[in-house]
Amino acid sequence: MSGKGAILRTYRYATALLEPAAAGLLLWRRRRGKEDLARHAERRGHASVKRPNKPLVWLHGASVGETVTLLPLIAKLQKRGFAVLVTSGTVTSARLMAARLPGGVIHQYIPLDVPRYMRRFMDHWRPDLCLICESEIWPNLLIEAQRRAIPVVMVNGRMSERSFARWYKMPKTSRFLLSCFEACLAQSQGDAERLAQLGAPRVSVAGNLKFDVPAPPADSDTLAILDGQTTGRPVWIAASTHPGEDELVLAAHLAIKPYLPKLLTIIAPRHPQRGPEIEALAEANEVAVSRRATGGSPERTIDLYVADTVNELGLFYRLSQVAFLGGSLVEGIGGHNPIEPAKLGCALLHGPYVHNNAEIFAAFDRDGGSREAADAQALAGAVHRWLNNPAEARQAARAAAQTATELGGALNRTLHAIEPLLMRVALGQRESAP
């Protein structure tokens, strides 16, 4: 425990002493629909299923974006014969994993970072290797893993300028925590340099796993029905929107509608439970609206379709000629992943706030697959231009797809980097077998 500094010691003691407050936080979140009532014990480290009797690799992603990023790696590990445990912290990610994880892969909610919860979790699962996606640096998780000699690797590692500035103020703490990682496999050279500067001892650049994630699936029968309902209409989607963006998307729709009377705008909120408030917003502006979650369809009389379901973005990207990526017109989010719509034939638009995916958007912008729209007026102009000129939109979509293909390869580089650890896990299991 020496060398971590006062901040980390205080955190460790505080999270132990405030365990009752952590239980209260879970209750508060559950009442707000942010916790799974049927599985809330998992957040306190209680497992809901047995541990498989073979080498187990634990992969953790915070939410939807991170867990989806891990899917190709999960499939490769399962094919190698490892048991796979996936953890995440949000209800939406759990629902998505239920739909997209391969059979036999276990999902659990990550416990809160309380010492007793983490001990309970690791005592049950006894992972042989832990792969943490992006920038999930939880002190108690890392300390408990280190005590059990569980190797931990940061995959698809990211350290934004903002996060770097915060960690830089705690040099002893950051150095100790990052030293707990067997390796940090960074998305980019910039991420690698920031991780190394904070004290990570073993850093390399593997690239961004998001480029190797398959395009999201779509049920063929459902797609055929929706395609029939929207044929002949110019269609665009505002995907993964946040509060404050829906109003701007609706304003853009109203600005375009006089020029493209058959226009269909799809809004897929980042959090599906916001569907009713988007519906109310549309009705207040006298826009004909229906919601997928209540069985509505994008029939000819509907101008705004709210796609407030989980794991169906693959459907709506396939229906749309243009995709706007949310979390980029309001500050504080940082923009959501544009790779999925790029792989499904969409020309891409984004707002000015894309720091979470800055290098990805920069690549798409540079190659002509995406454009920035700073406000509702600019968004309306860009959407109208592409919907009114399908050949230009197709050219942008082809450029986006080409960029997504060219930037792939991180999966193979990640597997190569962790191969010694995988061999160690497999050999260790065989040596300990009776």
What the block records as the tokens of 415 is 């597997």
Quickly tell me which residue has 């480290």 as its tokens.
45
Nearest to 25 by CA among 138, 108, 113: 113
Nearest to 397 by CA among 364, 372, 421, 426: 364
Compute the distance between CA of residue 159 and CA of residue 136 in angstroms, rounded to an integer.
10
Quote the DSSP letter at residue 254. Answer: H
What the block records as the tokens of 150 is 């569980």
Helices (H) and strands (E) in the chain, counts: 19, 14
Sheet holding 322-325, edge to edge: 289-291, 304-306, 264-269, 235-241, 322-325, 347-350, 370-372
66 is catalytic: yes
Question: Chain centroid to CA 138: how far?
Answer: 18
Nearest to 158 by CA among 195, 198, 106, 120: 195
Q: Which of 35, 42, 66, 279 is catalytic?
A: 66
Cα Dmax for the chain: 75
Compute the distance between CA of residue 136 and CA of residue 12 in angstroms, rounded to an integer.
17
Residue 133 three-state SS: strand
Question: Active-site residues: which are they?
Answer: 66
